[in-house]
């Protein structure tokens, strides 16, 4: 439909505008919605349609009215600007949807406008209002802290990349899911989980349209403030409360953190656990997710007895060689396996070969623990050599790397403890060492040691 309009024609058209306003009483669950308004305007140049509910809350209603006025005025100005040019009929469609979740009212306003050109324009605007505090809030508000919000962002990134029907550009998705409030303007707490909407162009091309993901509550309940947690689909909830110990006795001691990679191993890990008490030792295990499933009892025991459980990824691949999706999968699968065994998602990560780029660190969002004493136990498989290497390089704050899949490594580590205990060392987990050293672990640093 094309026509040519001159200024006279336009005035005439406007005076003939047909305005229809239908207001009907509409009962909805929740007290926030009263009734719904439908506005239709049709002229020779454009069609306009606006649907919005009346909200009892004045603060919210004002925001909705402001939005409608602004979008409508914007559209009509565009119509005016191009009145003399031959165009297909312009179109304006604005809808407002309101939902309640707990004490939060969510208003989602969506405008499509066509005023010439290759495609329509689209505006998504969301408002979240806390009926308790009487304030507008954003997504961060629902999360425990900044760290939790960051974690959500890497989960969201992973969920977008995992959408099956699309090929994504990882950098684009990364940028669109970075932990900024602007990237998370549209979300919805649903029965199945937290739904996040990314409008067209945020994480993929315009042609791909809007991208929607739903993150189940079992993934994010730990990150959400308690009052906003949803019902997790997990059937079995494991609640292990590990042994803790009084750290004050180690205050003036030289500290060493023994870390055991590549396990668990039923025989060797249990042998180690059987002997740790002799040296009043707790250690850290960086386990492989792929080995956890068959060694659940062992890892449970290690955790229960007060040792740290960290992740060494699922399949021990060099993370620097993986795509973002594959990298996230290596981390997520391992974290899930560990959580299933001990009821807690690990926060410590030792990347295989110590390899992780800055970008990888950002994605992982875990505390990266490396080492500074390496007896090359896997190479020599000789308990005396392992012990001597550790003893020779031992120092306060050291992080020792050994592997509990080898008998010689476990025996060597125990021999080293025997000697180092005489030298006044105490053997602590990474978490204990950080506490004793007053270090709050962050996700940007790689920890090689924790010296005084
Ligand atoms: Ni390893």
Average pLDDT across the chain, whole number = 88
For residue 181, give Cα distances in angstroms to 139, 150, 185, 209, 216: 7, 11, 6, 21, 20
pTM for this one?
0.71
Give the domain 247-447 fold: TIM Barrel (3.20.20)
CA atoms of 95 and 416, how far apart (whole Å):
70
Q: What angle do CA 166, 167, 173 make, to 5 degrees?
A: 100
CA 286 to centroid of ligand 1, rounded, Å: 8
Q: By the 8 A CB rule, do 309 and 302 touch?
A: yes
CA 294 to centroid of ligand 1, rounded, Å: 18
Residue 429 corresponds to which tokens in the numbers above? 């987990």
Q: Which residues of 61-71 are buried (b: 16+ CB within 10 A; e: fewer)?
A: bebbeebbeeb
Q: Give yes or no for residue 63 having a pLDDT over 80.
A: yes
- By mean pLDDT, which of 22-26, 60-64, 351-355 is the weakest? 22-26
- Going by pLDDT thresholds of 50, 70 and 90, the confidence category of residue 204 is very high
In the chain, domain spans: 1-137, 142-233, 247-447
> Would you tell me the crossing angle of helices 407-422 and 383-393 to the nearest 10 degrees?
40
Q: Give yes or no for residue 371 having a pLDDT over 50.
A: yes
Query: Which residues belong to the active site?
Result: 261, 403
What pLDDT does 85 receive?
A: 58
- Tell me which of 3.90.640.20, 3.40.50.2300, 3.30.930.10, 3.30.479.30 is the CATH number of domain 142-233: 3.90.640.20
Q: By the 8 A CB rule, do 96 and 107 touch?
A: yes
Cis peptide before 65 (omega within 30 of 0): no
CA 293 to centroid of ligand 1, rounded, Å: 18
- Going by pLDDT thresholds of 50, 70 and 90, the confidence category of residue 326 is confident
CA 241 to centroid of ligand 1, rounded, Å: 28
The average pLDDT across 124-151 equals 94
- Going by pLDDT thresholds of 50, 70 and 90, the confidence category of residue 34 is low
How many residues are recorded in the chain?
452
CATH superfamily assigned to domain 1-137: Fervidobacterium nodosum Rt17-B1 like (3.30.565.40)
Q: What is the largest CA-CA distance in the chain?
A: 101
What pLDDT does 234 receive?
A: 58
What pLDDT does 25 receive?
A: 32
CA 239 to centroid of ligand 1, rounded, Å: 28
């Amino acid at each position: 439909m094309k026509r040519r309009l001159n200024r006279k024609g336009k005035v005439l058209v406007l005076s003939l505008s047909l305005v229809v306003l239908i207001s009907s009483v509409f009962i909805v669950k929740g007290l926030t919605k009263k009734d719904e308004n439908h506005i239709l305007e049709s002229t020779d140049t454009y069609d306009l349609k606006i649907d919005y509910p009346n909200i009892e809350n004045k603060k919210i209603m004002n925001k909705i009215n402001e939005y409608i006025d602004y979008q409508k005025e914007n559209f009509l100005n565009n119509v005016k600007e191009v009145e003399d040019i031959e165009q297909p009929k312009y179109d304006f469609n604005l809808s407002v949807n309101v939902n309640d979740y707990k004490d939060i009212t969510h208003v989602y306003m969506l405008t499509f406008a066509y005023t010439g050109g290759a495609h329509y324009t689209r505006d998504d605007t969301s408002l979240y209002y806390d009926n308790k505090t009487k304030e507008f809030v954003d997504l961060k508000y629902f999360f425990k802290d900044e760290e939790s919000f960051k974690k959500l962002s890497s989960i969201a990134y992973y969920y977008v990349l995992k959408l099956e029907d699309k090929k994504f550009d990882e950098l684009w998705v990364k940028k669109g899911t970075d932990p900024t409030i602007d990237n998370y303007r549209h979300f919805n707490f649903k029965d199945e989980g937290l739904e996040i909407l990314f409008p067209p162009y945020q994480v993929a091309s315009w042609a791909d349209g809007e991208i929607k993901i739903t993150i189940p509550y079992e993934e994010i309940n730990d990150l959400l403030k308690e009052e906003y947690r949803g019902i997790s689909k997990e059937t079995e909830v494991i609640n292990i409360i590990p042994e803790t110990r009084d750290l004050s006795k180690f205050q003036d001691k030289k500290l060493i953190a023994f870390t055991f990679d590549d396990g668990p191993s039923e025989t060797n890990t249990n042998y180690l656990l059987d002997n740790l008490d002799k040296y009043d030792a707790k250690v850290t295990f960086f386990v492989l997710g792929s080995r956890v499933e068959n060694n659940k009892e062992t890892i449970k025991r290690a955790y229960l007895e007060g040792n740290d459980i960290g992740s060494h990824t699922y399949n021990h691949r060099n993370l620097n060689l993986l795509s973002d999706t594959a990298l996230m999968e290596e981390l997520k699968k391992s974290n899930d396996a560990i959580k299933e065994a001990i009821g807690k998602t690990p926060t410590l990560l030792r990347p295989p070969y110590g390899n992780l780029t800055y970008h990888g660190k950002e994605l992982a969002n875990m505390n990266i623990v490396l080492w500074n004493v390496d007896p090359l136990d896997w190479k020599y498989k000789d308990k005396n050599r392992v012990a001597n290497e550790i003893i020779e390089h031992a120092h306060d704050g050291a992080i020792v790397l050994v592997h509990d899949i080898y008998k010689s490594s476990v025996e060597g580590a125990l021999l080293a403890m025997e000697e180092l205990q005489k030298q006044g060392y105490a053997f602590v987990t990474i978490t204990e060492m950080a506490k004793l050293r007053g270090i709050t672990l962050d996700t940007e640093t790689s920890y090689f040691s924790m010296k005084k």
